[in-house]
Structure 1
């Protein structure tokens, strides 16, 4: 009984056991997350020290958005046309060079401001270029029936980095300075490049055209023609647009007279998603992954609404943790459906669209939350956005019912993708 319960709850480690490349990518990603958080913490702090302006710090987000969108779309087409391992290697090396620029600038007697924005834009562009290749590579190297387990393990990797990385980065910046933080980032990218170099080549499995607007449009048409895929993108965008309130956490902390809780507010969602990852064994035996997407997004919205309703800070933090778990569940469903249904020939371009769905939504959501907080008040911005999220998920479910009825054992695209992978493996 005890062993069965552990297997039902603990993460499924099958992808680690079955795929050497997955183990390499998991380790590479963990190193990259930890080292990158050094720069992610040090960079805005350095801008703050140089300017003393909140606007100057916030402008970094605007500088990052356009390169992420443009290169995310181009990176999707590129991932379908060239060796994905090469894209991963070159982009990691490029981000290492960018970290080197930050290191050199921090060591100047009077560090300059403009290189910080230049690096922020450059890293965002490289990340957008890399992400489709990375996501589409995962779909190739992990067996078809282990995609949910792989998504859970990858989420666990990110969560470990997101919780421990900023805490360690804050200590390094506070006690050793920006230059040490940037040097640590450079070292991390060196290790990451070495790990990536050990990956097996991943050339296109078909005669691919060069990256072009026509190729990007072909991927968009495919996504539009598949109600299940369209539903995953639409639900994620709606959830993030209506119920992503991170930008107004400081104001909620003030209203609750709990300024000390601000850091916990930012960490609570990640803690909730981490808890779900650590107890995700049961998710690998589910076939109706569309239900994950819908129920997870609805739970996210309800929890955000409740966080705006309660006045006890500990109940608010609990709600934010539940929201994080709901977002994690929805993310598992989306990742599994994407990797189980999208053809190999289009995987990169669809991964580029995925980059947009989970990057643009939070950016617009923060704008909505800030505007609503200014108009109706902070707590009203929470609960109204959460309820709007739930309503939009319900509407999308009614409009796109195939998302809810998706079954990995009967869906035509999933069966076709399984057959392709089995044929490629010679089974």
Structure 2
């Protein structure tokens, strides 16, 4: 008999520890640019620190996925939390001693990016071994809700803590990583056979991960479509902030607008397991593309930040359902020895879209009006949505989401009628 997730000791430990850790991380991400600006007085330096974090995670993505598949995944997560606690703790001490430098802050940001590049694939690959196949979709949606809640809570907390003292957000972040480290220490992940080859083989192992993603058409097509939508949405996000500011929308309302993305994500994650069961996979994927596409041009007519926030919540609401459908299929389809690389490849794709999208948005608002920039982003989203709608690969997306081949035996993944 399958144990309910709420009584699954290992999943609960992992979820709770990471919920705390993600609050600390989001706290630091808000405090970091404020700290750099306060010490250096340079907006460019603030961008350098945040850019170092993003670049480190992007560059480390492919090798990190390969290392997750050749090393013990629990140890990877433990070491990542320990190193993160030491890194942010060192910055807190430097601030206490008034010796913090730009170089030190860049180094901490790089460490944070590398640790996330390692931790996320390790957690994704471990999740399949902690819950049953039937519970995987619910576990993925709860993890999505956890991330959204952590981001909202940490974002709100970061500014308050920074106002109390520059070092306070980093002390809190250090404590959250230590809490997560303790919970991970009690985590029991079923053993797997690991036979790491020579370190010189890492390039071939990375290439094997890329070949796996590219060689499976459902994985390949959904990845390309999702990354393309993220690219245009990130461009639109920058455009709408500039447009709102130019129309005199108060900064507080702009902040609320951004927070509503998280609210929509949390609400969507709570209903995602139900929608995942009742909706055809193609419908669940197609719905989020069209929801974003149809709501985007309406932002042109939004009279204030509150309406913009409601639109943003609507855009985020169906995303967890699509993510649950796609991620469940991918994790169950992928052999255990390739799951780290699958996650690493996907993180690189998403990271590239997150980096390139804002650049496109900046170029658009530089050369065309805000309204025109929104319409250009809408056109890109509409093109991707049409591709999703008429793609024969996605129209025939398997209801039997995949096969768990981690132990060498093929087991059909339960479809909606079986759950």
TM-score (norm 1): 0.88
Is 1:254 matched with 2:245? yes
The answer to whether structure 1 residue 243 and structure 2 residue 233 are counterparts is yes
* Partner-residue secondary structure (3-state), 1:279: helix
Deviation of residue 210 (structure 1)?
4.9
Alignment partner, residue 195 of structure 1: 183
Query: What is residue 217 of structure 2 aligned with on the other side?
Result: 227
1:22 corresponds to: 11
RMSD (CA atoms): 2.4
Instruction: Tell me the equivalent position of 1:3.
Output: none
* Uncovered stretches (5+) of structure 1, i.e. residues with no partner: 1-12
Counterpart CA distance in 2 for 1:96 and 1:328 is: 30
Number of equivalences: 406
Is residue 2:369 matched to residue 1:382?
A: no
Query: Given the superposition, is the C-alpha separation of residues 313 and 36 from structure 1 closer, same or farther in structure 2, using an over 3 Å criterion?
Result: closer
Matches within 5 A, 1:301-320: 301-320=293-312
Counterparts of 2:73 and 2:312 in 1: how far apart (Å)? 36
1:107-122 correspondence runs (5 A): 107-122=96-111
Measured in 2, the distance between the counterparts of 1:104 and 1:202 equals: 38
SS in structure 1 at match of 2:296: helix
Corresponding position of 2:343: 351
Q: Rate the CA distance shift 1:283–1:264 in 2: closer, same or farther, 3 A.
A: same
1:71 aligned partner: 60
Q: Could you list the per-position Cα deviations for residues 73-125 of structure 1 after superposition, in whole angstroms to 9, with x for gaps in the alignment? A: 11111111121101111111111111112111211235322211111111101
Deviates more, 1:279-288 or 1:382-391: 279-288
1:337 is matched with which residue? 329
1:242-282 deviation line (CA, Å, top 9, x unaligned): 12133344422223321231101211211111121233341
Task: Label 1:382 to 1:418 Cα distance change in 2 as closer, same or farther (>3 A).
Answer: farther
Distance of 1:331 and 1:278 partners within structure 2: 13
- Paired with 1:293 and 1:326, the residues of 2 have a C-alpha distance of 9
Distance 1:199 1:90 in 2: 14
Does structure 2 retain, via aligned residues, the 8 Å contact 1:288–1:404?
A: no
- Whether contact under 8 Å (2:63, 2:206) holds in the other structure is yes
Cα pair 1:84 1:203 within 8 Å, conserved = no
SS in 2 for 1:243: helix
Deviation digits for residues 4-36 of structure 1 (CA, Å, limit 9, x no counterpart):
xxxxxxxxx94333x322111100111101122
Residue-by-residue CA offset, 1:307-351 (whole Å, 9 max, x unaligned): 235445433222111111133333222222222211112111111
The answer to whether the 8 Å contact 1:272/1:321 transfers is yes
Deviation at 1:286, TM superposition (A): 3.7
Aligned with residue 186 of structure 1, among 159, 174, 179: 174
Give the CA deviation at 1:378: 2.4
| Counterpart-to-counterpart distance in 1, 2:149 and 2:348 | 24
Residue 156 to residue 210, structure 1, CA distance change in 2 (3 Å): farther
Q: Residues 35-46 of structure 1 correspond to what in structure 2 (within 5 A)?
A: 35-46=24-35
CA distance in 1, matches of 2:69, 2:404: 21
How many Å separate the matches in 2 of 1:82 and 1:206?
Answer: 7
SS of equivalent to 2:238: helix
Q: How far apart, CA to CA, are the structure 1 residues paired with 2:139 and 2:407? A: 16
Residues in 2 aligned to 1:201 and 1:417: alpha-carbon distance in whole angstroms: 14
SS of 1:414's equivalent?
coil
**Aligned equivalents of 1:309 and 1:389: distance in 2?**
19
Distance 1:26 1:282, change over 3 A: same
Give the stretch that moved more between structures: 65-74 or 19-28: 65-74
- Residue 204 of structure 1 deviates from its aligned partner by 3.7
C-alpha contact (below 8 Å) 2:33/2:50 kept by paired residues = no
1:271 to 239, 263, 275: 263
Q: In the alignment, is the contact (CA less than 8 A) between 1:265 and 1:317 conserved in 2?
A: yes
Deviations 1:369-392 (A, max 9, x none): 111111112232223212311212
User: Counterpart in 1 of 2:316?
Assistant: 324
Q: How many Å separate the matches in 1 of 2:19 and 2:297?
A: 33
Aligned to 2:318, the other structure's residue is in SS state helix
Aligned with residue 112 of structure 2, among 111, 123, 126: 123
Partner of 1:10: none
Task: With the length of structure 2 as denominator, give the TM-score of the two structures.
Answer: 0.90
The separation in 1 between residues aligned to 2:181 and 2:338, in whole angstroms, is 26
In structure 2, the residue matched to 1:364 is 356
For the residue of structure 1 that corresponds to 2:403, the secondary structure is: helix
